[in-house]
Amino acid sequence: MIDIEITDHQSIASIDPKPIQTLLKHVFETEGFPEAEISIALVDNQQIHKVNRDFLNHDYPTDVISFVLNGSEDSVSHNHDHADPDFPEPLIGEVIVSVETAAGMAAENNWCIASEVLLYCLHGSLHLCGYDDLVASERNRMRERERFYLLPLGLDPQVDPSD
């Protein structure tokens, strides 16, 4: 079973949790994690800045942060195909999303805040599945996966190629 719990700790925009839950359940199933317990926190820039500073030693707000809460880094598939089908325990993770940052970027990209929040939730969830974006080849693979999941929903994220 895949359980996606969304808590809303911000007042910037009203975000419907259903599309997020539906997409992320599909993502975790497709990426080979039939058992997952995922917490999504929708926050403002002040809250995500505190998390970024306290846990990652980065003294600035960001768009999305994700944490795998069980096992080691080897607990998730880093080959970007699928998790081990014999994985003995569910993937447990947390994704923290700045709705405030999403609102700014949505205006810049000329699409709605909810779509930008959905992109951030997807991006953080792909990190939980083992994808990374630190080097160009990995970042390109992650962008491909984002488009794979968003294009069927009529969403085409416009990402800066240098990002």
pLDDT recorded at residue 156: 84
- pLDDT at 81 (0 to 100): 45
With respect to residue 15, please indicate whether it lies within any of the assigned structural domains: yes
| Contact (Cβ atoms closer than 8 angstroms) between residue 26 and residue 149 | yes
Q: Is 133 annotated as a binding residue?
A: yes
Q: Establish if 163 belongs to a structural domain.
A: no
pLDDT the model gives residue 79: 35
pLDDT of 161 reads: 44
User: What integer pLDDT is reported at residue 88 of this predicted model?
Assistant: 53
DSSP three-state, residue 67: strand
Give domain status of residue 161, yes or no: no
Note down the domain range covering 24: 2-153
In a domain, 135, yes or no: yes
Q: Residue 85 domain-assigned?
A: yes
**pLDDT reported for residue 78:** 39
Asked if residue 123 belongs to a known ligand binding site, the reply is yes
Q: Is residue 162 part of a domain?
A: no
156 is in an annotated binding site: no
User: What torsion, rounded to 10 degrees, do the Cα atoms 86, 31, 19, 105 define?
Assistant: 140
Domain count, the chain: 1
pLDDT value, residue 157: 79
SS3 content of the chain, % helix, strand, coil (to 5): 45, 15, 35
User: What is the structure's pLDDT at 162?
Assistant: 44
Average pLDDT along the chain, 163 residues, taken 10 residues at a time: 97 97 98 96 98 96 95 44 58 97 92 96 97 93 96 81 46
User: Is residue 55 situated within a structural domain?
Assistant: yes
Q: What is the pLDDT of residue 110?
A: 85
CB 96 within 8 A of CB 64: yes
Kindly report the CATH number assigned to the domain that includes residue 58: 3.40.390.30
Say if 159 falls within a structural domain: no
Q: What's the pLDDT at 82? A: 45
